[in-house]
Structure formats: structure tokens, C-alpha cells
Structure 1
Amino acid sequence: MTAAGTHRDDIGFLRLPATKYAQRTTIQHCRKEVIFVNQNSVSILNTETQQTTHALQGLTFSPTSMTTGCGYLAAGGQRSELMIRQLSSTWFAHTVVGGSINNAMSISKHAGSTRLLICNNDQTIKVYSLPDLHLVTTIPLPTAVNYASVSPDGRKLLAVGDTSEVFLFNISASGSYERIGTMTATSDAGFSCSWNQSSERFAVASQDGYVSVWDIRSTNKLAQLASKQVCHDVNPQVKGACRCVKFSPSGSIDLLVFSEHVSYFNVVDARTFDGRQSVSVSPAGLDQHISGIAFAPDSKSLFVGTESSILEYSVDALMRRSFPYGSLN
């Protein structure tokens, strides 16, 4: 890992070992329960009862993307298919949004309404209002779009795609999206991006095995973090590719987690970026694909999806809320 100043490895942010749930996943997401995709179904695992129920089943497509937010669940497909369900009722809608692969989606309340953003391989972000599925606007970009994230305060939009460029937008009170900046991450495509809970910092995970972090008040990087397998030069652009990045969403936990293509995920101190914990999800000598990562809403647990199971790690919240020293300037 590289960042400003020195760094410490193997900090105990998470308590090991993980609790293991024997659920096969292709991608997964977490809220109070764990929602995950397997083949043509989207299921919900209650980690207290360990019971699994189907949120969507018998889909006519295998989802390539899935998200939840504001009481809705959305699944997108390889041929621009879209399925929306309201989690508190039986309401659902199925449509095709046009373009190519729906790479990623996000749901948030901003610009005075609930909006669904769909990142597509046709070089657009399609913005729909919910629940009426009205197409609010289409945001064009110069590359296939892999991921987009709206800041928690609803004022900024971040997007990455099949280029090293990172696109920053302002969201106006009237609901329009204006590009206000373009940064460069590293040397390869961006897979994922995330905002911290204060909407002041954002991070981008890239194919070449690096996570770049910025403060919204500067175009200079705050930190650049290397994956464990890039650090050890083990097929860096294959095994060590950074696939998913997430900030802890609540409280004073202040962590950043990012997954590698296989076997490892990394938990980083998001206050100073000078310490991290690298965790293997595979037995020694074996590689296992990581299908997704997500914090619980209270940031006290971290869920990691693999091809054969869902792993739950407890965050050492007491340690994160205890500062070893302080200073007043």
C-alpha cells in the first residue's frame, strides 16, 4: 500500500474468523439483511435466523447488476433488462432500457425525488424516477460506464468506466447533472467508486490494482492504495485487480474496504490511510473469486460474498471509536 507518510499492515479492524453462511452467490449486497444474486434469482438471507427467501425468482435473465435503496430492489441484465420491486409490497415492474449491458445501478433520494441510475455499456448513465420509471435524463460519457455513485448529501455524482478518467458531476436543485471535473485515477479502467458518509471524500477502484482517494476540495489525490497482490507482484492485473470499493456508511467507524479479483480484500483506516488489514477468503494455495462486499448500515459488520458462501466479519467498533491521541490546532 502506498499513501502519504508511512503505513502499518495487519491492523485488527475486523475480528476473525468470519461467520460463514453456505449460500452460493454471483453478486451480493447488504442492508439489514444480505441480498444476493445467484443465477436467475435474487434472494434475501436473514443472518439472525439464517433463513433465505426469494425477492425475485424465475427471472428471464441472469442479473449482471443489482442494488437496493429507498425501499426498492433493482436487477439489471446483459441485454439492458431491468426488474424493479418494492420491498414493502408486491409491486414490481419489468422493462428494457435500451443500450447494452447494465453494468451497475444505484438508487438514492436526490433532487427532490427517488432516482435510479443505470450505468450502461452504451456510454451512458440513464436516470429514472421511481416508482413511475420516467426517464429523467440520459448522461452521455466518452466511455462505457461501469459504476456511478451519488454522494450521501445528494449534491454530487461520481462515475467511472473503461478508461482511467474519473467524472465528477454537480447535481442542481432542479435535478440536472453538470460535469464539473475530470480526474485521472491510475493507468487502467475504473470498476467501482464510493463516497464517505460526510460527502467530502471519494474513492475509485481500478483494474490495475490501485484505489485512488480524493478530497472533494482538491484535484490532488489524498491517497493511492495498492492491492495486496499488486504489492507482491502476483499476476497484478489479474488477481490483484481492485473490483469493489466501499466506505463505511455510518458512525465514527471511518473505514474503507476494497476487494481484489480473487482471494483478498483490504480494510483501510479512512482517517489517515496509514494502516490496513488484508484478509484472505481462500485456503492457502487456492484462489476464490470475490463476488461483492458491503457494510451493514450501522457499519458494525462487513459482508463478503464468494462463489460458495457469504462471510460476515465483525468490525471492532470500540477500537475505531478510541483515538490513541488527539491534538488541537
Structure 2
Amino acid sequence: MAVNLNDDLEFVDDDYFDMFEFEDEGFEVNRLRREGNSAGPDDVEDASKQKSDTSALEYRKGKDMQGIPWERLNYTRDKYREMRLKQYKNFQNLSRPHHGLEKECKQVKSGSRFYDFQSNTRLVKSTIVHFQLRNLLWATSKHDVYTVQNYSVMHWSSLLQRGQEVLNVAGQIAPTQKYHGSSPRPLSRVQISTMAVKDNLMVAGGFQGEVICKYLNQSGVAFCTNLTDSDNAITNAVDIYQPSNGSTRVMTANNDSYVRVFDVERFVLLNRFPHSWSVNNTSVSPDGKLLAVLGDSTECLVADPQTGKAIGSLKGHFDYSFASAWHPDGRILATGNQDKTCRLWDIRNPSQSVAVLKGRMGAIRGLKFSSDGRFMAMAEPADFVHICDATSDYYCTQEIDLFGEIAGISFSLDSEALFVGVADRTYGSLLEFNRRNQFHFLDSFF
């Protein structure tokens, strides 16, 4: 991946932020403060929340999903969308021509509605440290979401509409427990570049090659260390998985071209697999028997997660890849690339992809399957999330159209909710969508 040494958070280019030169959220708060004595802190907070958040009912009545006041701007939403599509520049590491790619892309039927807008809150604002890394949001249930915000990992309860800090990495970090054979190292001021949460374990990767492991039901940090002293050490991705023996492992993908595997029971480094290019993403199949390795190469490797030995190579992308996801049945692997496509591979016949799905504006930087295997969500760097129906051979799709850089996407474990984190200085927020079913009309009564 591109190496960018940054001292400040929100490293994403300023062109990606500040979509509107308009002070919106603070307007009502400042008015209450100016008018003085009768407005206490609770009044200010309530006014800010009421101004910034959007409910499903308000959305049905015509309010913008993100609370953008188009009626007070110099252009309509449609006009601004037209401008963004024309002006947005997709980042590419390789400038080679994409001959034949357009013909490969599947013609899909858009306009489906699988998930309905439920709510948007600007009380949750995601932060992106590196523009190519977007795994910064995870949902562990329909009501519990974890997201990176500056030097913190925040827990958001959509049920209580309340946030709480669960990890602060702005100061000194040291593990609270000692494990025989492990090699922890104290850390300080970590810029979180990637994150994963599964069951009770949260793992965060850092911009200088750090890895931090925390049990959500325990205070403090269980384990932390610098994976390498290399200057080119960004932890690009972390994965929590179960190998075939049923234990739990943590896998890291780093810019120093190594994949590392840790045992969670003792946080001991079990394996270190070298590659000839920076590793941007890894994912292990549901049965724990196959490993997908993607990075600064047009090929995706399929390897044995126990030995790291390559079993096959998936060829077809035109640029570097940063995202992958396995269908719950373990047969389909999805890979996301800077050539603006997601390729679907049947791992039983990997000689060529079975489908190529194209984005609207930029690279595919986020991929997630719902736990029931019905849907796949793919996120572009900004503005668009696509939900594809696997049961229609990915022909029927829903497009979520928003404005802002996308920090991460996540289905809830029961597949009933989809969360989207938006990183923007003004309109940064957490969007929630709920799955449609035959009882979707009942939400009008609540």
C-alpha cells in the first residue's frame, strides 16, 4: 500500500472532507448559549441531538437521511451528486489500462430494497487514519456497534442511543495480564488503522505496526506489542478466526510484507509468513482451512493458514486489493480492488472469477457477507454502499447513496441490521438500516 507518514488523525485528503462550507450542527447550540441563562447543558445536548439526528419517521417525511439542509445550500442534492460523480478521483497505484474490464462486469438490476433506513446519529463520528484502510466499524449485535473515533474505540448502543469509550490509546498502554511465552511491549499514542471485533475480543492495529487485544468484559488491555521495528510497518488488517481445531487465533496483515498469527489463549506468536509485497488484507474461510492473502499485487493468494504455503492464485484484478470476505458456505470468496470492482471466486474452480461487480465512483474498500449468506455489502471509499442479493446470483442490488468517506460497514450477527460509518468533519455519523420483511409496515406504529 502507499506509505504516508502522518502526525495527525483524519489523514484523508482535505478534498474528501468538508463537503459543504456550512456550519449546521453548532448553530442551534450556539444560539442557546448566546441566549444564556435558561439553557443548561442538558438543553444544549438535547438541541444538538435533535438538530443532527434523523429518524426513520423524519426520513419518510422528507428529511435528508444525513440531515444535510439542501434547502439552505446553493445546489440541490441531485446537482451535488452529479458534481461528485464527475469530480471524484479514484486512487490507483497502477495506471495500467483496464482493457476489457467493462465487458467483464455483470449487468445488475438496481433499485431493490433489502434494508430500510432506520436512523442516523452524528453523536458517533468515525475517524480514518489512512485513506486506503476502512475496517473501522464492527457490529456485534443489532444494538451494539464499535467504531474508531480519534484515539478511542467507542461503543454505541442503538437501543439506548448512548456512546461509551471502551479503549483509549492516546496515552501509555500496557497489558494488565501476563501470559507465559508472550512478548508484550508497552505502547503510547497509537493511531488505529484497522479493527476487528468477534465475540468478546476486540483487536486493533496501529499505524506504526502495533497490535492491541482487549476483552470487552474486562478493564484494561489484555495484550499489546509492536509487531516490527520496521519504518514501513502499518498494520493494514486484523482478523479473528477459528482454525479447524476450534481454538481462537488473531491474524495480522502488515506493510512489512508479513502475515502473523497469534494464539489468543496466551498471545504467543505462532507463525510468521513472508510475502514479496505488502499485505493489505487477509481473511480465513469459515471452516478455518483456507486463507486469502491480498496486497500490493494484482493477484490474490489462497494459502494454507497453518503453514502459509500458497495453494493457488486468483488472477483478474488490475490494481492492488484491500478487502476480502468469505461467504458463510465457504465456497465463494469476494475480493475488493482499486480497479473499482469486486470479484467473486468459486474456490472449487479458481481459474477465473465467476462474477465481476462494479462500483459507481471508486475502489471497493469494504466487503461483508450477512451471517445467513443472503446478502453481500460492498463499500466504496465514499458515497456508495451496494447490497447484493446472493440468492439472485448477485443480479438484484440495492444502492445506498450518501455523502462522505465511508469508514466501515458491518451487518449485525442476526443479519437484521446494517451499519455504515461516515467520516466527515461536519456530517460524520453512524447510519443504521434494518432488514425489510413482511412486517416492515409495523415501524409506523413506533
Q: TM-score, normalised by structure 1?
A: 0.86
Offset from partner CA, 1:204-249 (integer Å, 9 cap, x none): 00011000001111122110000023xxxxxxxxxx1111111112
**Is the Cα contact below 8 Å between 2:147 and 2:153 reproduced in 1?**
yes
2:108 & 2:344 partners in 1: Cα distance?
Answer: 16
The structure whose residues are more often helix, as a share, is: 2
Q: What amino acid maps onto 2:139 in structure 1?
A: C
Q: Which runs of 5+ in 1 are unaligned?
A: 230-239, 283-287, 320-329
Show the counterpart of 1:201: 332
2:218 & 2:369 partners in 1: Cα distance?
Answer: 30
**Is the Cα contact below 8 Å between 1:152 and 1:195 reproduced in 2?**
yes
Offset from partner CA, 1:58-77 (integer Å, 9 cap, x none): 43211001111242111111
Of all paired residues, the percent bearing the same amino acid is 26
Show the counterpart of 2:152: 41
**Is the Cα contact below 8 Å between 1:257 and 1:265 reproduced in 2?**
yes
Query: How much is the aligned-residue C-alpha RMSD, in angstroms?
Result: 1.9
Q: After the TM superposition, which residues 253-292 of structure 1 pair with which residues of structure 2 at under 5 Å, given as runs?
A: 254-271=374-391, 272-282=393-403, 288-292=404-408
2:313 & 2:429 partners in 1: Cα distance?
Answer: 38
SS at match of 1:164: coil
Q: What amino acid maps onto 1:242 in structure 2?
A: I
2:276 & 2:416 partners in 1: Cα distance?
Answer: 38
Is residue 2:129 matched to residue 1:13?
Answer: no
- Aligned pair in 2 of structure 1 residues 5, 104: CA closer, same or farther (>3 Å)? closer
Q: What amino acid maps onto 1:304 in structure 2?
A: V
Q: What amino acid maps onto 1:14 in structure 2?
A: Y
Superposed displacement of residue 4, structure 1: 8.1
Offset from partner CA, 1:259-306 (integer Å, 9 cap, x none): 111111111111311121111122xxxxx1011001000111110000
Q: After the TM superposition, which residues 89-238 of structure 1 pair with which residues of structure 2 at under 5 Å, given as runs?
A: 89-90=218-219, 92-98=222-228, 99=230, 100-112=233-245, 113-171=247-305, 175-219=306-350, 220-229=352-361
Q: TM-score, normalised by structure 2?
A: 0.64
Q: Alignment partner for residue 196 of structure 2, among 49, 67, 77?
A: 67
The structure whose residues are more often strand, as a share, is: 1
SS at match of 1:263: strand
SS at match of 2:111: coil
Show the counterpart of 1:325: none
Superposed displacement of residue 114, structure 1: 1.1
Q: Which moved more, 1:84-93 or 1:213-222?
A: 84-93
Q: What amino acid maps onto 1:195 in structure 2?
A: W
Show the counterpart of 2:371: 249
2:106 & 2:190 partners in 1: Cα distance?
Answer: 48
Q: Which runs of 5+ in 2 are unaligned?
A: 1-101, 128-135, 171-188, 440-446
Q: Alignment partner for residue 55 of structure 1, among 163, 166, 169?
A: 166
1:179 & 1:276 partners in 2: Cα distance?
Answer: 34
1:197 & 1:317 partners in 2: Cα distance?
Answer: 22
Work out the number of aligned pairs and report it: 298
Greater Rg by CA: 2
Offset from partner CA, 1:161-190 (integer Å, 9 cap, x none): 11111010134xxx4333100112420010
Show the counterpart of 1:326: none
Offset from partner CA, 1:30-81 (integer Å, 9 cap, x none): 1121000011101111110112111101432110011112421111111111
1:188 & 1:141 partners in 2: Cα distance?
Answer: 17
